[in-house]
Amino acid sequence: MEGKTNLWYELKISVENAVRSDFDTDNFLEKTKFSDKPAGIWKFQDEEMYSILNQEWIYYLKQCNIPVTSFMMFYRQPNYQHPEAHIDVHRPAKPTDVPLLSVFGLNLVISKNDDSYMSWYDVSDFEKSKEMSKTLADTPYLSWPMSEVQNKEIDRVIIGNRIVLVNVGVPHNVIMNNNERWLISLRCRNSAGLKNWDEAINYFSKYIK
Ligand SMILES: [Fe+2]
């Protein structure tokens, strides 16, 4: 792909019937350790996925060459502001392995009336510093305080009830608004095979709107 690429692309993938009709976010939250917290995070793998997403929909994604094997679910309460922007990093199999930066996410908000923004920040000034590469080696997590990056916002998007291919290799955060946010980030079996953002765009190009 030539020219400058965007940080997100809506995909022409139906999300109708994605979520089970009997799944209720309030009931779910109440039973978890995050019930009195402003944010929550959960991972669902293999069969566990079907407690929230319809099996037929996962099958439909497979037919679209999107073999989902797990997903993360993120909850944020209205107006909760996380103090850091971050880059997604895969936890290495062995502690001695170098952590791998993630490339993309397939994100979908399942709550109604999403009014939050996923926002991206340009940290090229910081990336040149030695300190940052040291942080990468020491911990599988790269983050920047919002106070340092909030003037360097380069893009933002309301994800809403659709699938958006998002670049998670560029520092990002969520700007919450008046509504709560329940986001599902799908993980595919072949994620590791897509080595950079251009490869991810190319892989999903057939479905990019
Ligand atoms: Fe992220």
Tell me, in angstroms, the distance from the centre of ligand 1 to residue 111's CA.
Answer: 18
What pLDDT does 130 receive?
42
What pLDDT does 189 receive?
73
pLDDT of 147 over the 90 cut: yes
Residue range(s) defining the domain that contains residue 67: 8-207
Tell me, in angstroms, the distance from the centre of ligand 1 to residue 198's CA.
Answer: 18
Q: What CATH number has the domain bearing residue 81?
A: 2.60.120
Tell me, in angstroms, the distance from the centre of ligand 1 to residue 156's CA.
Answer: 14
What pLDDT does 90 receive?
72
In a domain, 135, yes or no: yes
Q: How many CB atoms lie within 10 A of CB 45?
A: 10
Tell me, in angstroms, the distance from the centre of ligand 1 to residue 43's CA.
Answer: 14
Is-contact 120 129, C-beta < 8 A?
no
In a domain, 1, yes or no: no
Is-contact 8 155, C-beta < 8 A?
yes
pLDDT of 194 over the 80 cut: yes
Helix, strand or coil for residue 34? coil
Across the range 75-101, mean pLDDT stands at: 82
In a domain, 122, yes or no: yes
In a domain, 2, yes or no: no
Instruction: Give the total number of structural domains in the chain.
Output: 1
Helix, strand, coil tally for the chain in percent (to 5)? 25, 30, 40
Is-contact 110 161, C-beta < 8 A?
yes
In a domain, 180, yes or no: yes
Tell me, in angstroms, the distance from the centre of ligand 1 to residue 6's CA.
Answer: 17
Average pLDDT value over all residues in the chain: 88
Across the range 86-105, mean pLDDT stands at: 76
Phi and psi angles of residue 144, each rounded to the nearest 5 degrees, phi first: -135, 135
Tell me, in angstroms, the distance from the centre of ligand 1 to residue 89's CA.
Answer: 8
Structure tokens at 43: 């991972």
Tell me, in angstroms, the distance from the centre of ligand 1 to residue 96's CA.
Answer: 23
Q: What is the pLDDT of residues 19-50, one digit of tens each?
A: 999 999 999 999 999 999 999 999 999 999 99
Tell me, in angstroms, the distance from the centre of ligand 1 to residue 34's CA.
Answer: 19
Tell me, in angstroms, the distance from the centre of ligand 1 to residue 105's CA.
Answer: 8
pLDDT of 128 over the 80 cut: no
List strand residue ranges (DSSP E) for 63-152, in order: 68-76, 84-87, 89-90, 100-101, 104-109, 117-121, 142-145
Question: Which residues have CB under 8 Å from 53's CB, separation 6+?
Answer: 18, 19, 20, 71, 184
Q: What is the pLDDT of residues 51-71, one digit of tens each?
A: 999 999 999 999 998 999 999
pLDDT of 4 over the 80 cut: no
In a domain, 60, yes or no: yes
Bridge partners (DSSP) of residue 10 are 164
Q: What is the pLDDT of residues 158-186, one digit of tens each?
A: 999 999 999 998 999 999 999 999 999 99
pLDDT of 126 over the 90 cut: no
* Cα–Cα distance, 166 to 11 (Å, whole number): 10
Tell me, in angstroms, the distance from the centre of ligand 1 to residue 16's CA.
Answer: 25
Tokens 């103090």 found at? 83
Tell me, in angstroms, the distance from the centre of ligand 1 to residue 171's CA.
Answer: 8
What pLDDT band is residue 193 in, cutting at 50, 70 and 90? confident
* Cα–Cα distance, 189 to 186 (Å, whole number): 10
* Cα–Cα distance, 118 to 147 (Å, whole number): 17
In a domain, 3, yes or no: no
Tell me, in angstroms, the distance from the centre of ligand 1 to residue 170's CA.
Answer: 9
What pLDDT band is residue 13 in, cutting at 50, 70 and 90? very high
In a domain, 114, yes or no: yes
Tell me, in angstroms, the distance from the centre of ligand 1 to residue 172's CA.
Answer: 6
Tell me, in angstroms, the distance from the centre of ligand 1 to residue 142's CA.
Answer: 10
